[in-house]
Amino acid sequence: MSDSDKSSSNHSGHDSRGRDDELEFSEDEEALIARMFSLVGPRWSLIAGRIPGRTAQEIEKYWTCIRNTITNKEA
């Protein structure tokens, strides 16, 4: 199996590597991130501590992407 075959078949969503262009979060995670952000602001490590299996970097990237998407839709 070539490296390109491995990378395409290894997109299970459980490995944070290789998911740079799209992060998938459940509705519960999205709601918790929004609530936590409104309470503590951009304290990503604090928010990540409330969501098992998520890193501060993943949450910050997700939030930034969501905010940019919303801003672009309003423009």
| Cα separations in angstroms, 39 against 6, 50, 52 | 42, 13, 19
Residues 16/55, Cβ–Cβ less than 8 Å: yes
Q: What is the pTM of this model?
A: 0.65
Q: Is residue 47 part of a domain?
A: yes
Average pLDDT of the residues in 21-35: 89
Q: Is residue 5 part of a domain?
A: no
- Tell me what pLDDT residue 21 has: 54
Q: What is the mean pLDDT of the chain?
A: 77
Domain count, the chain: 1
Q: Is residue 10 part of a domain?
A: no
- Tell me what pLDDT residue 6 has: 41
Q: Which domain holds residue 58?
A: 25-75
Tell me the CATH number at 71: 1.10.10.60
Q: Is residue 43 part of a domain?
A: yes
> What is the percent of the chain with per-residue pLDDT over 90, rounded to a whole number?
53
Q: How far apart are the first and last CA of the chain?
A: 46
Residues 24/11, Cβ–Cβ less than 8 Å: no
